[in-house]
Amino acid sequence: MSKPIKIKRGLNIPLKGSAEKVLVRLDKAETYGVKPTDFPGLVPKLNVAVGDKVRAGSPLFHDKYRPNIVFSSPVSGEVVDVRRGERRVILEVVVKADSGEVAYEDFGSSSPQMLTRDEVVAKLLKAGAWPYIKQRPFGIIANPADSPKSIFISCFDTSPLAPDLDFAVQGEEESFQAGVDVLRKLTPGKVHLGLSADFPPAKAFANAKGVEQHYFTGPHPAGNVGVHIHHIDPINKGEVVWVVNPLDVIIIGRLFLKGIYDATRVIALAGSEVLKPRYYKLISGASIESIIKDNVNTQNQVRIISGNALTGTRVDKLGYLGYYDNMVTVIPEGNKYEFFGWIAPGVNKHSASSAFLSKLIPGKRFTLDTNMHGGHRAMVVTGQYEKVMPMDLYPMQLIKAILANDIDRMEQLGIYEVVEEDMALCEYVCPSKTEVQAILRKGIEIMIKELS
Amino acid sequence: MKALRNYLDKIKPHFQKGGRFEVFHSTFDAFETFLFVPNTVTTKGSHIRDSLDLKRTMSIVIIALMPAMLFGMWNVGYQHALSIGASWSFLETFWYGFLKVLPLIVVSYGVGLSIEFAFAQSRGHEVNEGFLVSGLLIPLIMPVDVPLWMLAIAVAFAVIIGKEVFGGTGYNVFNPALLARAFLFFAYPSHMSGDKVWIAGLTQGQGVVDGFSGATPLAKAAAYQIDQMPSVYDMFMGFIPGSVGETSTLAILIGAAILIITGIGSWKIMVSVFGGGLAAGLLFNAFAVNPYMEIPAWQHLIMGGFAFGAVFMATDPVSASQTEKGKWMYGFLVGFLALLVRVLNPAYPEGMMLAILLMNAFAPLIDYYVVEANIRRRMKRAKKVANV
């Protein structure tokens, strides 16, 4: 093991309700959904209409501007609904699952080593597994025409209540290795695995061949792939790095081993409002209802989040698990007033600062709700963001450059190196309640437009 | 609590858009959020947020100012009693000072907050908590006998010219509290310096005991009357004439501890200001040509407004340097320049105010170079890759 890279700046948010290491195999949900909104910047075009029969791996919709990028149905069944939002934007394509076994499209099993790069790309595109590969900068679906300088897989998650990925990949060693072999075809550079130095990593990660393992230790965001890239092979202007979640690597591996698009994955259901937080094995895109069932506290109003509490997407009971998400978080809504809350000693309040009594209780876990804990203000306090940003860049200056719409400055200050999740903690700690992630996405969109 | 909440909910519609009292929307909002943390929930981005907001941040600064303020009140009474040769009990002493200082605080908050509320209303913003701190800082850096009308003008100047014209809290270039003091210092110098203004009643010609001088240690030092300076113990504890809240280094250090422990104030700035002052002091010691320059370097740190400025003024996050590396440089230069002005320029006995204001102007420049260095590192990295 090489010397671990120490991440010093950051913050672990100790939420209550982390998932117990019990794996529950979930029955097939009634409906599954694929959400174009999971892919920033995507303009979807439908391939199917309501009433069409599909198999697992049949395309549901594609990217209007890159039509070879398709998004597949995770199960076999019938398209029952296309939910639309304002201005008829497609929000969800809903598939009602057949009873019985899932019927798969057959893409043919093949060893990636025997294929050319073009054949590998074609297969990924055709099966709808391509969108699992994201690119940095910008955190959007990778462009098949690009040749990335390297590919990164972060094999541990440090976000609040995050699932233990070592637990989630157990028994998938073969598929993971196959997925890694596929990715090795895609880059002339290296495939890097980011591993936690604090726990012995799962066999799938530790024994993976043809990759370079790097060990990290420290608080969140030490597990963010953006942080790994920054420390190992930072992105300069014009360079492209691809990233894939380890659970998605497994799905890619299965496509080549078995020739099918099998989006089965292990996710965690966690949060203070979950009665029995644990792990579930299910098919990606499952309805939230099928996951939370009777396992959520009904006394309080709750917020269900597909993903973690810092970066996840708000969903309701009728919604669906996000495309990339490996957890569902349920926390209380915070829509109540608090009498003189700003001066209360705050034994139960979490803060990165030491302005609350809770700091004196080490190891305390918190029930955090969705309250803003204050009104929006101009940026006043400085140095707060830097404490939770383990990269050599100036987060507040970058945010200000975006607000000022200064493209040169954004580029100089390193907008290519960050996506929302890397700056989510800045948003968490901001005493002025600045919407850092939304601002950053706006900046990224400006850059994409500028460069196209 | 519940009844109060219900009452607020009942009258709230009148203050919202289309309501009868829409003009007072910001005012209502300020009072409502003072009583209750609002029920707004996160809509985008992170679903959970840190419990710390600006209200609490500012409240902690105010709490940190309490020791200096309370001691200041007592000291006003104590100095007055000395000047008239009376011996008062602790309570009498404190009560006298309390009655002297309270009007200053009331006027400062009254004038400042009225302007803040008016601007917030006209902009349609929520009222920013920034002035809660400035409003208390201003009386604490004034001579106790400053006429109230003068204070009112100074506060108005500081808030309007110092802050609102730039866009309000968070956008100002200079520290508003120091701007108020600087305004009076240059507009009404006779009321802001000399031997009489520092002690309540002296300017009205109230009886002075023989041999009593109301001069501050700085004035005595500047006049080379080193032997007449108060003892180190008195200066550290604060039993000396001076602006209301600045005399007791001990009380200020208690405030500093609160700011540093809670993480609200930048310890980097505080440490580097003291470091800068010490460096300048040692330099003077080494090349001393007059008695003032011979004063031990560390004594400068407990004289005049040095400690107060280091802990409460230089650390104002808006007007200070905004990068962490910049904070070291900024603080060091504040301390260094303060002593430079103090010792080498007899016209300005107190250098701290001018040093901080000057560095406020230069803080963006410091940040510029720090951020440029970061940009250059990024460019260099890109070039290295391009050359491979």
ipTM score: 0.89
What does the pLDDT look like over B52-96, one tens digit per residue? 988 889 999 999 999 999 999 999 999 988 888 888 899 999 999
A124: CB partners within 8 A, 6+ apart:
A130, A133, A182, A252, A255
Q: Are A122 and A228 in contact (CB under 8 A)?
A: no
CB atoms within 10 A of CB B238: 23
Residue B98, pLDDT score = 94
Residue B41, pLDDT score = 86
3-state helix, strand, coil in chain B (%, to 5): 65, 0, 30
**Single-letter amino acid code for the residue at B52:** L
More confident residue, B268 or B201: B268
Instruction: Please spell the DSSP secondary structure of A16-27, one letter per residue.
Output: S-PPEEEEEEPP
Can you read off the two tokens belonging to residue B387?
Answer: 């050359």
Residue A337, pLDDT score = 85
Mean pLDDT of A100-119: 89
Closest Cβ opposite residue B45 in set A368, A382, A436 = A436
More confident residue, A241 or B291: A241
**Mean pLDDT lowest among A51-60, A286-295, B214-223:** B214-223
- Cα angle A393-A394-A400, degrees, rounded to a multiple of 5: 135
Structural domain includes residue B174: yes
CA A410 – CA A400 distance, rounded (Å): 9
Residue A423, pLDDT score = 94
**Structural element, H or E, at residue B146:** none
Mean pLDDT of B149-176: 90
Residue A82, pLDDT score = 94
CA B139 – CA B103 distance, rounded (Å): 9
Q: Are B146 and B104 in contact (CB under 8 A)?
A: yes
- Chain A positions touching B381 (Cβ under 8 A) are 234, 236
- CB–CB contact A393 B266 (8 Å): no
- CB–CB contact B59 A380 (8 Å): no
Residue B183, pLDDT score = 93
Closest Cβ opposite residue A429 in set B35, B50, B168 = B50
Name residues 205-244 of chain A within 8 A of B (Cβ).
234, 236-237, 239
Query: In which band, very low, low, confident or very high, does the pLDDT at A357 lie, cut at 50, 70 and 90?
Result: confident
CA distances from A83 to A49, A64, A93 (A): 12, 18, 6
Structural domain includes residue B213: no
CA atoms lying within 13 Å on the CB side of residue B338:
36
Interface probe for B, chosen from A16, A314, A342 (most Cβ of B below 10 Å), is: A342
B250: CB partners within 8 A, 6+ apart:
B71, B236, B237, B238
Tell me which residue of B75, B71, B37 sits closest to B54, measured CA to CA.
Answer: B37
pTM: 0.91
Residue B157 burial by Cβ neighbours in a 10 Å radius (0-12, 13-18, 19+)? middle
What does the pLDDT look like over B230-258, one tens digit per residue? 888 888 998 988 899 999 999 999 999 99
What does the pLDDT look like over A372-389, one tens digit per residue? 888 888 888 888 899 999
Residue B210, pLDDT score = 65
In eight-state DSSP terms, residue A287 is B
Residue B84, pLDDT score = 83
Residue B386, pLDDT score = 75
Closest Cβ opposite residue A346 in set B1, B51, B324 = B51
Residue B208, pLDDT score = 66
Name residues 307-366 of chain A within 8 A of B (Cβ).
309-312, 314, 329, 331, 333-343, 346, 349-356
- Chain A positions touching B382 (Cβ under 8 A) are 236-237
Please determine, for residue A1, whether its predicted confidence score (pLDDT) is greater than 60: no
CA distance A329 to chain B (A): 10
Query: In which band, very low, low, confident or very high, does the pLDDT at A164 lie, cut at 50, 70 and 90?
Result: very high
The mean pLDDT of chain A is: 91
Rounded percentage of chain A residues whose pLDDT exceeds 90: 74
Structural domain includes residue B115: yes
Structural domain includes residue B317: yes
Mean pLDDT of A116-136: 93
Query: In which band, very low, low, confident or very high, does the pLDDT at B282 lie, cut at 50, 70 and 90?
Result: very high
Rounded percentage of chain B residues whose pLDDT exceeds 70: 97
Query: In which band, very low, low, confident or very high, does the pLDDT at A451 lie, cut at 50, 70 and 90?
Result: confident
**Single-letter amino acid code for the residue at B194:** G
Residue B205, pLDDT score = 65
Residue B206, pLDDT score = 64
Mean pLDDT of A357-366: 85
Expressed in angstroms, the distance from the first to the final Cα of chain B is 69
CATH code of B66's domain: 1.10.3430
Q: Are B334 and B279 in contact (CB under 8 A)?
A: no
A43: CB partners within 8 A, 6+ apart:
A63, A64, A65
CA B59 – CA B189 distance, rounded (Å): 33
CA distances from B129 to A174, A253, A347, B184 (A): 58, 55, 24, 24
CA distances from A151 to A188, A209, A252 (A): 10, 14, 14
Structural domain includes residue B2: no
Q: Are A235 and A148 in contact (CB under 8 A)?
A: no
For chain B, the domain total comes to 1
A302 touches chain B (CB under 8 A): no
**Mean pLDDT lowest among A80-84, A324-328, B186-190, B347-351:** B347-351
**Mean pLDDT lowest among A46-55, A300-309, B30-39, B329-338:** B30-39
More confident residue, B207 or A87: A87
Residue B167, pLDDT score = 83
What is the residue range of B291's domain? 54-208+218-373
Query: In which band, very low, low, confident or very high, does the pLDDT at A412 lie, cut at 50, 70 and 90?
Result: very high
Structural domain includes residue B197: yes
Q: Are B88 and B77 in contact (CB under 8 A)?
A: yes
Tell me which residue of B16, B59, B55, B50 sits closest to B37, measured CA to CA.
Answer: B55
**Single-letter amino acid code for the residue at A144:** P
Residue A430, pLDDT score = 93
Residue B388, pLDDT score = 65
Structural domain includes residue B34: no
Residue B333, pLDDT score = 96
